[in-house]
């Protein structure tokens, strides 16, 4: 059974000259304890997808269609207070900048124990014991002393460890992590990702890991969803998506990563840029950049369809196309 189901999610921004559709029927699910990577170029819709799930879309952005279901319960239309309770208790969030998650005026111990006690029926002493244990698990040295320090007394990397502890404090089933290491020093990014993976696996928390870094996806995730212009271009087990990409865009992303190809001569970027929301081409949104496009791609928009070991929104995998190619 799925922990989280996102079904046909549509997010729109009303606008003076009409409506911008930023997410256009996004669907995927996450199993309990699974790590799903969400990858794509800047502007593809990764952060909006995460924000919609945790109920923190910023107005005027709004969910204009679809459903978000967590453990069988719809959470996309909940009142703010109900959603705030779900955030924390059932879904933990980690953002790019740890300072957005931490209150500079309170010790980290106070923030951890308040979160724990807001959601779990434990005494102050028990909450503090749990907070220390979380800080130890996330690799904060001398956690018994550090718990009484303020956020500014930690380095960027240590602060993000505290944020991971805070996201896990109320034992949520799902962590949504949006570019959790992008703001950190390159030398510690891999450590923090490994830590996130380890503590979530230990606690059985599923993770939706948003990143533009395919290398991180390869090392961390069980499955991956590739977003393009507000839609899922391809989704499948991480090994298959990386080694046998079915969508030409995924193949292009892979070719642009140095460590993914043995043949360095083939290294290249995908020509062109992702379209703006107000200028998405008809047919397949990727068609202007696609070296494999054919007539149908210019007219009809492909939905996700079975494509080898993954699912891809690409007409190349339509049974009729496969038949003609034979
Ligand atoms: N407040 C807003 N008003 C209009 N468009 C927005 C707003 N916020 C985001 N968008 C658009 O939605 C698209 C997806 O944004 P986002 O989810 O932040 O992308 P990503 O995280 O993949 O880089 C982008 O094209 C962006 O321009
Ligand atoms: S549908 Fe056509 S244009 Fe789009 S990715 Fe597939 S082949 Fe390329
Ligand atoms: Mg983003």
Non-local (6+) Cβ contacts of 39 within 8 A are 46, 210, 211, 212, 213, 214, 217, 224, 225, 226, 227, 253
Q: What percent of the chain has pLDDT over 70?
A: 96
Question: Distance between CA atoms of 262 and 38, rounded to whole angstroms?
Answer: 24
CA–centroid distance, residue 50 to ligand 2 (Å): 26
Q: What is the mean pLDDT of residues 175-204?
A: 95
In which band, very low, low, confident or very high, does the pLDDT at 265 lie, cut at 50, 70 and 90?
A: very low
pLDDT exceeds cutoff 60 at 206 = yes
Residue 269 vs residue 79, higher pLDDT = 79
Tens digits of residue pLDDT in 114-133: 999 999 999 999 999 999 99
Residue 245 near ligand 2, beta carbon < 6 Å:
no
pLDDT exceeds cutoff 60 at 259 = no
Atom of ligand 1 nearest to the CA of 179: 21
Q: What is the mean pLDDT of residues 138-166?
A: 97
Residues near ligand 1 with C-beta < 6 Å?
13, 20, 22, 40, 42-48, 61, 277
CB under 5 Å of ion ligand 3: residues: 46-47
Tens digits of residue pLDDT in 224-237: 999 999 999 999 99
Tens digits of residue pLDDT in 25-61: 999 999 999 999 999 999 999 999 999 999 999 999 9
Asked if 301 and 283 count as a contact pair (C-beta separation under 8 A), the reply is: yes
Phi then psi for residue 164, to 5 deg, are -65, -45
pLDDT exceeds cutoff 70 at 263 = no
- Tell me what the pLDDT averaged over the chain comes to: 94
Residue 293 near ligand 2, beta carbon < 6 Å:
yes
Non-local (6+) Cβ contacts of 108 within 8 A are 102, 135, 146, 147, 149, 150, 151, 154, 162, 166
User: In testing the pocket of ligand 2, which one of 228, 274, 292, 305 has its CB within 8 Å of the most ligand atoms?
Assistant: 292
Residue 283 near ligand 2, beta carbon < 6 Å:
no
In which band, very low, low, confident or very high, does the pLDDT at 203 lie, cut at 50, 70 and 90?
A: very high
pLDDT exceeds cutoff 60 at 296 = yes
Q: Tell the burial category of 239 from Cβ atoms under 10 Å away from its Cβ (0-12, 13-18, 19+).
A: middle
Atom of ligand 2 nearest to the CA of 291: 8
Question: Distance between CA atoms of 153 and 318, rounded to whole angstroms?
Answer: 56
User: In testing the pocket of ligand 2, which one of 232, 270, 286, 295 has its CB within 8 Å of the most ligand atoms?
Assistant: 286
User: In testing the pocket of ligand 2, which one of 315, 320, 322 has its CB within 8 Å of the most ligand atoms?
Assistant: 315
* pLDDT at res. 266: 47
In which band, very low, low, confident or very high, does the pLDDT at 256 lie, cut at 50, 70 and 90?
A: confident
Give the β-pairing of 310-312 and 91-94. unpaired
Tens digits of residue pLDDT in 77-118: 999 999 999 998 999 999 999 999 999 999 999 999 999 999
pLDDT exceeds cutoff 70 at 258 = no
Q: Give the Å distances, CA to CA, from 70 to 32, 141, 168, 236, 270.
A: 11, 35, 17, 21, 36
CA–centroid distance, residue 243 to ligand 1 (Å): 29
* pLDDT at res. 268: 59
Helix (H, G, I), strand (E, B) or coil at 229: coil
- 91-100, 138-147, 264-273: which range is least confident on average? 264-273
Question: Distance between CA atoms of 34 and 37, rounded to whole angstroms?
Answer: 10
Tens digits of residue pLDDT in 270-290: 889 999 999 999 999 999 999
pLDDT exceeds cutoff 80 at 269 = no
* pLDDT at res. 183: 92
Taking alpha carbons only, the member of 35, 46, 91, 57 closest to residue 227 is 46
Asked if 260 and 219 count as a contact pair (C-beta separation under 8 A), the reply is: no
Question: Distance between CA atoms of 139 and 191, rounded to whole angstroms?
Answer: 10
* pLDDT at res. 15: 86
- Measuring from atom 3 of ligand 1, which residue has the nearest CA? 13
């Amino acid at each position: 059974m799925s922990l989280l189901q996102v079904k046909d999610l549509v997010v729109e921004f009303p606008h003076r000259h009409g409506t911008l559709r930023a997410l256009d029927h996004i669907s995927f699910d996450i199993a309990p304890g699974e790590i799903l990577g969400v990858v794509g170029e800047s502007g593809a819709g990764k952060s909006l997808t995460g924000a919609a799930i945790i109920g923190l879309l910023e107005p005027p952005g709004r969910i204009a269609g679809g459903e978000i279901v967590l453990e069988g319960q719809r959470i996309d239309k909940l009142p703010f207070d109900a959603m705030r309770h779900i955030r924390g208790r059932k879904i933990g969030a980690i953002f790019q900048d740890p300072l957005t998650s931490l209150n500079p005026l309170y010790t980290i111990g106070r923030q951890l124990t308040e979160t724990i006690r807001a959601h779990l029926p434990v005494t102050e002493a028990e909450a503090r014991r749990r907070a220390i244990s979380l800080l130890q698990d996330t690799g904060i040295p001398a956690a018994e002393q550090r718990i009484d320090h303020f956020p500014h007394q930690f380095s960027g990397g240590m602060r993000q460890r505290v944020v991971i502890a805070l996201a896990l404090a109320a034992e949520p089933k799902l962590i949504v992590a949006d570019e959790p290491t992008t703001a950190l020093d390159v030398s510690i990014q891999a450590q923090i990702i490994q830590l996130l993976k380890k503590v979530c696996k230990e606690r059985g928390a599923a993770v939706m890991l948003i990143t533009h870094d395919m290398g991180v996806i390869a090392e961390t995730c069980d499955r991956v969803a590739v977003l393009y212009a507000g839609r899922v271009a391809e989704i499948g087990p991480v090994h298959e998506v990386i080694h046998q990409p079915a969508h030409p865009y995924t193949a292009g992303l892979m070719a642009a990563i140095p460590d993914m190809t043995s043949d360095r001569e083939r290294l290249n970027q995908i020509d062109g840029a992702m379209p703006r929301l107000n200028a998405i081409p008809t047919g397949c949104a990727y068609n202007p950049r696609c070296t494999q496009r054919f007539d149908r791609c210019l007219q009809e928009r492909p939905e996700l369809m079975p494509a080898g070991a993954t699912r891809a929104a690409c007409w190349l995998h339509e049974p009729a196309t496969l038949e003609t190619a034979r």
